[in-house]
């Protein structure tokens, strides 16, 4: 079974631009979560999507948004990029359908650098 | 806000040594997970502990969940270079969100 894939793996953008990152979950998984990892703040939850609906959201500004398609693939978008948005963005998929969180499988991440 | 503090932040040891990583919080978690992350990859789940006082063993790794479900520890016996990586604890907190610890970076030298 193929794992979680994320594209692109590396990205360099300039302040003020916007960026879209993509995540393809493990086949059959309908839950996709996004996380931001930085040296200073560690790994922080951004949001979770299930069946094309945002089910959960972390404490990030509205510049961070996401969506999920009918095939469970997900994208996250960051608008008006700031230097502090430089981070490793991780996507995780799980077979979760009910209210309880279960095992999440992480992708390799997209390394975003904002200059 | 639920926080998880890990100690130590960095650990550099020789192959064959034992080590313990601690994960502490003032909040209660319904369960706690431990992950290992290697460079260029996402975290990989090692174990989930659910019951206060629970101890789980995974080969040379021993995981313990505190009685009050506020803390956890990871003990590695006879560390090997393949154990090198970033170890992260994560608690399942409010609204089923994963709260990650600050991380412990382990380097095991041959």
Q: How far is CA B107 from the centre of its chain?
A: 15
- Could you tell me which residues are beta bridge partners of residue A58? none
Q: Stretch B7-28: mean pLDDT, rounded?
A: 96
What mean pLDDT is reported for chain A? 94
Min Cα separation A8/chain B (Å): 13
Contact B42 A4 (CB under 8 A): yes
For chain B, give the number of residues. Answer: 110
Asked whether the beta carbons of A64 and A44 are under 8 A apart, the reply is no
Min Cα separation B14/chain A (Å): 25
Give tens-digit pLDDT for A39-53. Answer: 988 999 999 999 999
Contact A58 B99 (CB under 8 A): no
- pLDDT of the residue at B92: 86
Positive or negative torsion for Cα A103, B46, B1, A20: negative
- pLDDT of the residue at A1: 65
Give tens-digit pLDDT for A84-96. Answer: 999 999 999 998 7
Closest CA to B74 of B3, B24, B30, B14: B24
Q: What is the CB neighbour count within 10 angstroms for residue A75?
A: 17
Give tens-digit pLDDT for B33-79. Answer: 999 999 889 999 999 999 999 999 999 999 999 999 999 999 999 99
Closest CA to B34 of B94, B110, B106, B95: B106
Q: Quick check: helix, strand or coil at residue A83?
A: helix
At B83, give phi and psi (nearest 5°).
Answer: -85, -10
- High-pLDDT (> 90) share of chain B, %: 82
Pair type for strands B98-100 and B5-7? unpaired
Give tens-digit pLDDT for A25-43. Answer: 999 999 999 999 999 889 9
Cα B109 to Cα B38: distance, rounded to the nearest angstrom: 15
Contact B99 A108 (CB under 8 A): no
Token duo for residue B34: 């431990």
Say if residue A74's pLDDT is above 70: yes
């Amino acid at each position: 079974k193929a794992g979680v894939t994320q594209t692109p793996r590396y990205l360099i953008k300039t302040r003020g631009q916007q960026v879209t990152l993509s995540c393809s979950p493990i086949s059959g998984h309908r839950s996709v979560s996004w996380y931001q990892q930085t040296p200073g703040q560690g790994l922080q939850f951004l949001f979770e999507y299930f069946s094309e609906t945002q089910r959960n959201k972390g404490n990030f500004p509205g510049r961070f948004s996401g969506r999920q398609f009918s095939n469970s693939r997900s994208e996250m978008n960051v608008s008006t990029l700031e230097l502090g948005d430089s981070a490793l963005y991780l996507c995780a998929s799980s077979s979760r359908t009910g209210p309880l969180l279960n095992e999440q499988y992480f992708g390799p991440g997209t390394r975003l650098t904002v200059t | 806000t639920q926080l998880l503090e890990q100690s130590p932040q960095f650990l550099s040891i020789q192959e064959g040594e034992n080590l313990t990583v601690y994960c502490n919080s003032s909040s209660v978690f319904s369960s706690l997970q431990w992950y290992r992350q290697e460079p260029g990859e996402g975290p990989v789940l090692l174990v989930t502990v659910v019951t206060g006082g629970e101890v789980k063993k995974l080969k040379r790794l021993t995981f313990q969940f505190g009685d009050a479900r506020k803390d956890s520890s990871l003990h590695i016996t006879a560390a090997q270079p393949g154990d090198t990586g970033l170890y992260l604890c994560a608690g399942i907190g409010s609204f089923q969100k994963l709260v990650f610890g600050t991380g412990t970076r382990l380097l095991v030298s041959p």
